[in-house]
Amino acid sequence: MQHRTQYISTRGGLAPTEFLDVLLSGLAPDGGLTVPADVPQVSAEVLESWRPLSYPELAAEVIGLYATDIPSADLRELTAAAYGPERFPAPVVPLRSLDDVAPGLGLVGLSEGPTMAFKDLAMQFLGQAIPYALARESRVLNILGATSGDTGSAAEHAFRGRPGVAVFMLSPQGRMSAVQRAQMYSLTDPNIHNLAVDGVFDDCQNLVKAINNDAAFKAEYSIGAVNSINVGRIAAQVVYYVWAWLRASDHLQADATSVPAAGTGVDSFRIDVAVPSGNFGNIYAGHLARTMGVPIRRLILATNENNVLDEFFSTGIYRPRSSEQTLATSSPSMDISKASNLERFIWALLGAEEFQRRWPELERTGVLDLSDERDRLREQFGFVSGTSTHADRLAAIRRVHTATGTPIDPHTADGVTVALRLMEPGVPTLVLETAKPDKFPETVAEALGAPQPVSTAVQQLLDADQHVVNIPCDPERLREIIGARALRR
C-alpha cells in the first residue's frame, strides 16, 4: 500500500490529517504550524530515476510524496500548468557556474518566474493547487498574507483572477523597493487587495497571526494563508533542492564509463547549499530535502544585519527582536526578526514531547535557550550560518559582476558573502538566488558605480498607477476591511 503522508501540529493539538486539508488552513487550530508526522524518504535509486525528468515532472514526483491525497494524474496536470512555458522559460531552474568567483561555487536560478523572485516557484503551484482543492469542496478562500517584499507580489500574480479566491496582502509602509511595490500595487484585479501597514514586516505578520488565532472570525470569512507557514509552499520548495542536486551531479553521470565503486558515485556526491534566510521557510525546505535523503552535506544560512537566525545557529539561543529593533537594510525582504518557520525546525530538533515542554519558555520570557543543542545543529542537522552587511553586499555584487559580467540582487549577495566565508575546498557550494537585480536597482547601482539599464517591461511597471490602502497596525481595522471585501460562501 502507498505511504500516506499525514500532518500534525507542532503544538500537539491537531489530529493527523492530509495535504489538501492543511493546504487551505494556514495555521493549525491550536496556533501551531503543520508538519509532516513522518518525513518521506527517497533512496539513491529513486533519485537516479528522477534524473531525466523535466522540472514540472520532477515537481509532481516530489510534491506527490507530501500530497498523497492528490491523484497522480491530477498532480501532473497541476505542476504542468504551474511550471509551463507561459510562466517559466525552460529549464525553469537553471544552474550557473560561478567558478570565476570561487572554484566550486554555483548559482541556482530561482527567479525566472513572473515576479522575478524565488517565491514564484512555490506560489505558482499554490495558484493551481488551491483552486483545485476549493473546487472539490465548493468552497471559497480569502487568503490573508504578510510580505516583506516578494511573497506578496508572487501570491498576487499567482492568484489574480483565479476562481473562488481573494487575496488580502499586508506590506510594511516604506519598507519595500519601488519595483516590489509596483508589482503589487499596480494590479487592478478585483480579487486583489493591497494593505500597507504602519510598521515593519513583523507587525504585518503579527496581524496575520491575530486574525488566524480568532477561530470564529477565521471560520466565518474562510481565512487561509499562503505565507511560508503554508505547508504547500514548503513542499513545492523542496523540489528545487532535489533539482539542484541532480543538475550539480549530472557531470558525474555524464562522465561515468562503468558502475562506480561504493561511496564514489552520484549517490555519494554531496553538496553544500547557501540560503539567504529571513523567515526560515526556504531553508526549512532544504532541511526537509536533506532529511528525505537528498545528499546535502551542509545548509549554509545567510542573514543580513537582522541576524537573529545567525545568532541561533551560532549559539543555540533564539532571541527574537522587537519591531523597533528591526533594521531597515538594503536586503529588505530579510528584514525579519521573528522567523515563523523556525518553530517547525525546533520541533524536529527537540522532538514533540520536549518541544511541548520548552517552547512556552519563548512566549514567557522572549528567549529560548537551546545552547545545550548547539552541537547537534551542525553535526546532526548540518546547519552553519553567518551574517552579511551592506558593505558585504556591495562587495559581493561587484565581485560577481567583475567575474561574470552579470549583477546579482542584494539578498543573493548575502548568500554569496556567507558562502565564500564558509565554503570548504572540494565541496560544491550552491547559492540559492532569491530575486533578479532589476528589483533593487539602487543597491546594484551603488555597488557598480552607475545605474544599470532598466528594461522596458520594468519601466512600464514603475509608470503604472498604484492602488493601495494604508492602515494602522490594528487588528480591528483589518477585520473591518476583510468583513467588507471578503468572498463569502
Establish if 68 belongs to a structural domain: no
Within-domain flag for 38: no
DSSP letters, 77-101, are HHHHHHTSTTTS-TTSS-EEE-TTT
> What residues have CB less than 8 Å from 12, skipping those under 6 apart?
30, 32, 352, 356
- Cα 431 from Cα 419, distance rounded (Å): 7
pLDDT at site 175:
86
Does a structural domain hold residue 54? no
How many whole angstroms separate alpha carbon 24 and alpha carbon 367?
31
Q: How many domains does the chain have?
A: 1
pLDDT of residue 265: 54
Is residue 454 situated within a structural domain? no
Amino acid 255: pLDDT? 46
pLDDT in tens, 88-104: 999 999 999 999 999 99
Tell me what percent of the residues of the chain surpass a pLDDT of 90.
Answer: 81
The catalytic site residues sit at 119
pLDDT at 250 over 90: no
Looking at 144-153, 239-248, 414-423, which range is the least confident one?
144-153
Indicate the SS3 state at residue 178.
helix
From residue 70, give the alpha-carbon distance in Å to each of 129, 136, 310: 10, 11, 37
Output the pLDDT for position 259: 34
Better-scored residue on pLDDT, 177 or 423: 423
H-helix or E-strand spanning residue 359: helix 352-365
Residue 250: partners with Cβ closer than 8 Å, 6 or more residues away: 51
**Cα torsion for 25, 28, 31, 34, to the nearest 10°?**
-120
SS3 assignment for 102-126: CCCEEEECCCCCCCCECHHHHHHHH
Output the pLDDT for position 264. Answer: 45
Residue 387, pLDDT score: 98
pLDDT band, very low/low/confident/very high, at 263 (cuts 50, 70, 90)? very low
pLDDT surpasses 80 at 261: no
Query: Is it the case that residue 257 has pLDDT exceeding 50?
Result: no
**CA–CA gap between residue 415 and residue 242 (Å, rounded):** 19
Q: Is the peptide bond before 91 cis (omega within 30 degrees of 0)?
A: yes
Pairing of strands 368-369, 383-387: unpaired
In this structure, is residue 160 part of a structural domain? no
Min mean pLDDT across 92-96, 132-136, 257-261, 299-303 is at 257-261
What does the alpha-carbon distance between residue 168 and residue 152 come to, in Å, rounded to a whole number? 9
* pLDDT for position 256: 41
Residue at 422 is within a domain: yes
In a domain, 37, yes or no: no
User: What pLDDT is recorded for position 224?
Assistant: 85
| Average of per-residue pLDDT across 231-256 | 86
Alpha carbons 421 and 419: distance in angstroms, whole number = 5
Exposed / middle / buried, residue 137 (Cβ in 10 Å: 0-12, 13-18, 19+): exposed
Angle, helix 281-292 to helix 342-350, in steps of 10 degrees: 40
CA–CA distance, 392 with 408 (Å, rounded to integer): 13
User: How far is the C-alpha of 198 from the C-alpha of 473, rounded, in Å?
Assistant: 6
Cell 546535502 identifies what position?
A: 296
Amino acid residing at 277: S
Q: What is the average per-residue pLDDT within 384-401? A: 98
Q: What is the mean pLDDT of the chain?
A: 92
Beta-ladder partners of 275 = 301
3-state secondary structure of 136: helix
Provide the CA 227 distance to its chain's centre, in angstroms. Answer: 8
Long-range contacts of 98-102 (CB under 8 A, 24+ apart): 98/400, 98/403, 98/404, 98/416, 98/431, 100/403, 100/404, 101/399, 101/400, 101/403, 101/404, 101/416, 101/420, 102/420, 102/423
Please, which pLDDT band fits residue 228 given cuts at 50, 70 and 90?
confident
Does residue 407 carry a pLDDT above 90? yes
CB burial of residue 330 (10 Å; 0-12, 13-18, 19+): buried
Closest CA to 146 of 57, 212, 88: 212
Q: How many CB atoms lie within 10 A of CB 488?
A: 8
Predicted local confidence at residue 266, as pLDDT: 58
Whether 384 is covered by a domain: the verdict is yes
pLDDT in tens, 341-384: 999 999 999 999 999 999 999 999 999 999 999 999 999 999 99
Q: Is 274 helix (H, G, I), strand (E, B) or coil?
A: strand
CA angle 388, 392, 393 (to 5 degrees): 90
Domain that holds residue 357: 95-114+240-250+263-448
CATH assignment of the domain containing 337: 3.40.50.1100
Provide the pLDDT confidence category of residue 267 given band limits of 50, 70 and 90.
low
Q: Rounded distance, CA 487 to CA 489, Å?
A: 7
Distance from C-alpha of 63 to C-alpha of 233, rounded to nearest angstrom: 10
